[in-house]
Structure 1
Amino acid sequence: MSSLFPTYARWNIEVDQAKGTILTATNGKEYLDFTAGIAVCNLGHCHETVVKAVQEQTEKLWHVSNLFHIPLQEEVATKLVAHSDGNYVFFCNSGAEANEAAIKLARKYTGKTKILTFKQSFHGRTFGSMSATGQEKIHEGFGPLLQEFSYLEYNNLSSVKAAMDENVAAVMLEVIQGEGGVNPGEASFIKGVEALCKEQDVLLIIDEVQTGVGRTGKPFGYQHYDISPDIITVAKGLGNGFPVGALIGKEKLVEAFGPGSHGSTFGGNPLAMAAAIATLNIALEDSFLAEVSEKGAYLVQQLEEKLGNVPFVKEVRGKGLMVGIECDGSVGDIVGDLREQGLLILVAGPTVIRILPPLTVTKEEIDKAVEMIAKACLVTN
C-alpha cells in the first residue's frame, strides 16, 4: 500500500533511468518519451552538459539563502534579460510560484486588484495561480477562490474590451494554451490585447511556463507575435528537470519588488542556477532554435500527411515542438494503448493528443512516433 496521497492518476510504469528521448522502466522496457516530463526536459533526459554542471556545483555549494550575493543568479538573470523584453529577474522554484509572483507584482505596482485571464487557461495549483486558471475542474472542491479574477473568451478581443475597467491591474495569458488543449493565440488577438493594455495602462503578463526556453522555436513563445509584455513567467524547461522558476519584468516594475516585498527560501539556489545556465547556454543558441523550428514543422507536416484522411482527426495545431491533435472523441484510450506499445504522449483535455518531445528529438524518432500515432488513430476510426 502506498504512503502517498493519491493526487495523481499514475501510469503503470516504474521509472529506472532515462537518457535523451528514451525512458527505461524497472522491468527493462524502453519507451520513446514524447512528454519530456511535461515540457520540462527540453534537452532530453540527463543531458551531459547539465548533469556535469550540477555535479560540479554539488561539490562547491548547495544553499546559502538569498541574504547572500550568488554570482550564478546574476549570470542566469543576464541571460534571460538578454533574450527577452525584461530587465529584472526574480527566481523561485516552479511555474506556479512564478505566476504567484506575477500576480503579486501586478497588484502592488498598479495598486489595482482585478486580473483578467481566459477560459481553458492553466497557471498553477497554488491558491493564487489556481484562481487565475480558467478551468472549473481545477477549482472544484476548494471553496471560494481568490476574488478579482475574470475568465474571458480566448481569441475573442471583444471579451477583453468589455472587461476592461479602472480596477484592472493586468491581463494574464498563454500565447499557446497548453493544458487547455494546445490552443494557439491568433496574432490579431494577441496584438490586440497588448494594444488594449497600453491604452488602458494595464500590465500584460505572459505565462511562458510551457512555451518558454525554446519550446516553440524561439526563446519565448510571445516572440512569434511581435509584442513586448511587462511580465514574463518561466519554469519547466528552465532547468531541464531541476526545479526552478523565474519572473522576468520590465524596469518600471523594479521599485514595487523591493527588499521584503517578496521572497523564496530556495529560489535561485546555486544548484538550480547551475542547471539553468547550462540549459540556457544550449537552448537559446540561434542554431539550436532553428533546428527546433525545422523539426516542429516536420512533425506537423508528417502528422497532417498521415492523419489527413482520418475522419476521427479534426485538426493538427501548435508551434515548434508543442503540438496538439484535436480529435472527434475521447483520446484517453489511444494514449493508453500507445503507452503499452512504448510511446509516451499526453492528453490536453478529453479530445486532444498533446505531443511534447525533447527539443533534441531526431527526425527518425519523429517518424517512428508519427507512424504509431497514425496507426492508433486509424484503429479508433
Structure 2
Amino acid sequence: MKTVPLGRVLVTGGAGMLGSQLVQKLLENGYRVRSFDQQHQSIEHQRLELLEGSLNEQSDLQQACEGVDTVFHAAGVISMSGHAELVSEEDRRCWRVNVEGTDRLLSACQRAGVSRFVYTSSNSVVFDGRAIVDGDETLPYASRPGLDIYSRSKMMAERAVLAANGVEGMLCCALRPSGIWGEGDKVVYNRLMVMAASGWLRCRIGSPRARLDNSFVLNLVQAELLAATHLCAAGGAAGQAYFINDGEPVNMMQFAEPLLAAVNHRLPTLLLPEMVLKVMVGFWRGMYEYFGGAEPVLTTIALQRITVDNFYSIAKAKRELGYQPEYSTERAQAISIDYYSAVYHEAKQARGRA
C-alpha cells in the first residue's frame, strides 16, 4: 500500500506517557513537531515547538492546528471511578476532555486544513465484561450498560473521529491499544507496584486463567507512525480502527512476576474469590468518595477485565499497516525494569514516612 510523509506534526498530550515518546520519535525521524499540553514541558529541540493550552479552549486548539499537516491526538483523561454515569468531578473532567475536547479538536483541524488525524482510542470501546478471545475489528461497540465513563468517553470520541474521515479533506483513523505500559506508566502496572510496596498486594488479583494483552509504549509509537503514513488515498487506513498490542496475551499476575522479582517482592499465593474482591474494592471506592483518604488502586471495572479472557488480534494492523511489534514482552520488560523498580521503592519510602 502507498504511504505518505507526515509534513509538520502536532502531538496533543505531548507531555504525557505516550505523547512524549511520540514527540521524541518524530524528532529522531526528522520531523518538525508542535507539542500541545496543559502541563509544562521541559524538552528542547530546534525542530520542536512547545505550546501550552487546553482541549476545552477552542482558541488554543485553533492556534495549535495552524500550519499543521498531521495530528496525533494522544491527550486524554483516565477516570478510575468505574462509574457508569457522570457522578464525580473526575467523571465530568474525563467527558469534557475525551469527548468534548476531541470534538473541538476535530473542528479546529478541519478549519486549519489538516490532512491526517490519528486518534489514540482504547480496546475498552468493545469490552462489556464478557470474555473476548482474539477479538477483531468486526466486534460491535459495547452496549452502554457494560461501559464505565472512561470507556464510554473513548467510544464516543472514536466514533466522532471515524465519522469525520473525509470531511474537509482530512483522513482519520483510530488505534485501540490495550493497557499502555513502560516508562511513564501511571496506571497499569504502576498501580500494581504501588499496591505491592504499600502492603496491599496480599493476594493474587483476577483469575489465574484469564489472559489479557498489553501495549508497550514504544510498540504503540511504532503503530502511530505507521497509521499516519498510511492515511492517504491509496494507503488503506482512512476511516479504519485497529487493535494495537504486543501480540502476546498473558495472565496479568504472570506478566507482573518479573517486575516484582526485580525488587525482591514475592508474588502472593493466596487467591481471593472474585466476588469477595469486588465487594472489597467497591467498599474502598465508596469510602474514598465520601470521606477521602487513599484513592483505590483498583476499580470494579479493572477487576472485570482481569477475571475473563480479554485480548485482541493485531492481524488487521499487520496486514494493512505493516505493524509488527518491535519489542517482545521480554525485551520491553528488560528496558522498563528500572522504571517500575523506582516506582516500587518510591511507594515504599512514602509508606515509611506516613
TM range (shorter): 0.3 to 0.5
TM-score (norm. length: structure 2): 0.37
Q: Which structure is richer in relative contact order (CA contacts within 8 A, separation 6 or more)?
A: 1
Q: Which has the higher strand share?
A: 1
Structure with bigger helix share is 2
